[in-house]
Amino acid sequence: MLVTGANGFVGPWLVKALAAHGAKVSALVHSAIPSNTDANIQFVRGDITDFAAISKLIHESNIDTVYHLAANNINTGAGISPYHVFETNTRGVYSILEACRTAPHKVRAVVASSKEVDDCFTPASKRKHHPYMTSKAAAELITRSYMDTFGLAAVIMRSDNIYGGGDLNWQRLVPGTIRSLLQGETPTIRSNGLFKRDYVYVEDAVAAYLAVGSRLDNPEVSGRLFRIATGTATTVYDMVKQCACAAGKPDLEPRVLNEKSEERIDTLYSPEMEQTILGWKSQFSLEQGLARTVQWYRENLERK
């Protein structure tokens, strides 16, 4: 199996879970190769936009399943390179899928997507479009074209807000809040704190990927869009308070700036189809997930 984005946030969790289930995993990283003592994991340095190199890896390692998680995940602000976002998120996906399509043996693909794309497929949405959200929407459409035109066995996994240990994007709510709490600082909410989100613990998300991967040859699964969601919404304010409780500071009050923002307004999704077809539903409550997340940061934050 091949996992792209193996040194990102979700990628390392998925690599370890696949290896723990006995799979031989080629873990593609874009930067330095991390230390590794697991015989079932082989780290490979590479670029997801390098079609020739990806094809060679899939061929020579006899890869039968690709979990494509790698992406440029900066989803706000104008201080980005839209070129690099589109190169990574759009060219990256068709390079991966073309390598799967042209392999000398059957290769299936699981393509990670994001809740961010919902507004791209909602005609009534007035939300301003950011390169990240449009690049991920394009990636979904590209994947669909490989499914429909070439019969590629693939699945799109559109996730809500995944949180957990290993997320080092401090601009995100959960890691930024927990870092502030562990450093003795008061966490800040830039908006009014009333926006509601569905937060999925990372080990639940990984379980969803495993459930899909083990069923890719099932006609009820291949060619479908599945969502990684708990079906429960929590306000930003309440999420920060829950983080504070998990960090042992239940009486702490965050600073609410009440600034105007371009935050998306989420529609809550109930994952009944995922439970019926995949046998998957979230197993960790918010309290349990945050407790494990805070513990990870307590143990690892000083090293980062």
> What pLDDT shows up at residue 79?
76
3-class SS of residue 92: helix
> What pLDDT shows up at residue 33?
87
pLDDT in tens, 121-144: 988 888 888 999 999 999 999 999
pLDDT in tens, 256-294: 998 876 667 778 899 999 999 999 999 999 999 999 999
pLDDT in tens, 191-200: 888 999 999 9
Give the domain ranges of the chain. 1-159
Can you say whether the dihedral through the CA atoms of 68, 303, 198, 254 is positive or negative? negative
Quote the crossing angle between the two packed helices 236-246 and 286-300, to the nearest 10°: 60
Q: What is the mean pLDDT of residues 61-69?
A: 96
> What pLDDT shows up at residue 76?
67
Average pLDDT, the chain: 93
> What pLDDT shows up at residue 303?
55
> What pLDDT shows up at residue 258?
87
* Contact (Cβ atoms closer than 8 angstroms) between residue 15 and residue 3: yes
Domain 1-159 adopts which CATH fold?
A: Rossmann fold (3.40.50)
Q: What is the mean pLDDT of residues 64-81?
A: 85
Q: Which pLDDT band holds residue 60 (cuts at 50, 70, 90)?
A: very high
Check if 132 is active-site: yes
Contacts of 303 (CB under 8 A, 6+ apart): none
> What pLDDT shows up at residue 45?
95
pLDDT in tens, 74-120: 766 667 888 999 999 999 999 999 999 999 999 999 999 999 999 99
> What pLDDT shows up at residue 73?
76
> What pLDDT shows up at residue 256?
92
> What pLDDT shows up at residue 262?
65
Q: Which pLDDT band holds residue 255 (cuts at 50, 70, 90)?
A: very high
**Separation between Cα atoms, residue 200 and residue 223, nearest integer Å:** 23
Catalytic residue among 132, 146, 199, 297: 132
3-class SS of residue 86: helix
